[in-house]
Amino acid sequence: MSTTTGHTTAIRATRAIGTSVYNTQGEKIGKVEDVVLNKTDNSIMFAVVGFGGFLGMGEKYHPVPWSALDYSDDRDGYVVPYTKEQLQAAPADDIKALTRDDGQATRDSTYKYYKVAPYWM
């Protein structure tokens, strides 16, 4: 089965982690640092996109709804429908804090901020 852009629905996490992320203007905004899974309902809660900083210092980790990342063969990376400014103003924290309390507060605030329909309702 494939997605609307023609990609298969199955992907290994090791293939997603480290993949570059671009905005719709073609600017590279970061890369997928991690994918947060909900083990109890077999869903992907969100992707963690890291950007900003230099050599790992000062980098911010932004949760982004997994469904917002669309893989582009042309870019060999994911494209998100957000501007750099929207991403910079988005919820961000260190990776450990993003998964505090099972990550549900992060998931909820992330989907609300990006106005993405929650998959869990």
Helical spans, DSSP H, in 22-117: 84-89, 95-98, 104-114
Pair of tokens at residue 26: 């073609």
Say if residue 13's pLDDT is above 80: yes
Total-model pTM: 0.84
- On whether the CB atoms of residues 29 and 51 are closer than 8 A, the answer is yes
Cβ contacts of residue 102 below 8 Å, gap of 6+? 38
More confident residue, 10 or 117: 117
Please give the mean pLDDT across all residues of the chain. 85
User: Each residue of 29-73: pLDDT tens digit?
Assistant: 899 999 999 888 888 999 999 876 665 566 779 999 998 999 998
Question: How many Å from the N-terminal Cα to the C-terminal Cα in the chain?
Answer: 24
2 belongs to a structural domain: no
Q: What percent of the chain is modeled with pLDDT above 90?
A: 44
Tell me the per-residue pLDDT of 75-120, one tens digit each, with 9 for 90 and over. Answer: 999 999 998 788 888 888 888 888 888 889 999 999 999 999 998 8
State the residue range of the domain holding 25: 13-114
Q: Tell me which H or E stretch contains 35.
A: strand 28-38
In a domain, 26, yes or no: yes
CATH number (domain holding residue 99): 2.30.30.240
32 located within any domain: yes
**Token couple for 6:** 């023609």
* Number of domains making up the chain: 1
